[in-house]
Chains A and B, each alone.
Chain A
């Protein structure tokens, strides 16, 4: 069964550093999403992406964040200058076009900012 994959599984970085989190969505899906989950809290929406542009973003997704689909398979989330409060699990999700709006999540990247 096709799955969303994410790399790395765990990223440790120092405050102020840039990080790039990578995702490979399910191959025939056209909508892509990033969510995050701070330890013990709700899953929160960050951004959605369709047809090579952002279709929706939350208040969390400020100028420090950017997304890109650099090729036909990868979908990346960049945080330009990490803060301590960016420490969280970051989940990528993808959704098909015609079959429905189900969102399928990857296993996540645990980001630790020290």
Chain B
């Protein structure tokens, strides 16, 4: 089955800096790669996703890149703000099948 590895496990940045979180996946058939933000006591919130026919997608301060050949994808957050502090999860799936999640990255943005 699919295996998703995520790095780093924790990330501390200064407000205004950029943050990058990286994930690798094992199943070359996977074609859908979402990113979720989870705040304390809440459910995962979908923040951005990318499909395998696209190499990059951007939404305001958030961007995701995908390298299908290397089987890795990354989340980039620019101009970080304290409210970006949360746990971020990457995931991978084939179509509507089960999401396989990474282990999460705790991002702390220092004001």
Contact = CB atoms under 8 A, between A and B. Distances in A.
Interface residues of B, number: 22
Interface in B53-111: 89, 91, 93, 95-104
Contacts of B104: 42
A12 interface: no
Nearest to A45: B98
Interface string A21-63: 0000000000101010000011111001010000010100000
Contact of B96 (A31, A42, A108): A31
A105 B91 CA distance: 13
Contacts of B103: 41-42
20 contacts: A4-B43, A33-B98, A35-B99, A42-B104, A43-B44, A43-B89, A45-B99, A45-B100, A56-B98, A91-B43, A95-B96, A101-B95, A102-B34, A102-B46, A103-B34, A105-B43, A105-B44, A107-B43, A108-B42, A108-B43
Interface of B: 32, 34, 36, 42-46, 49, 89, 91, 93, 95-104
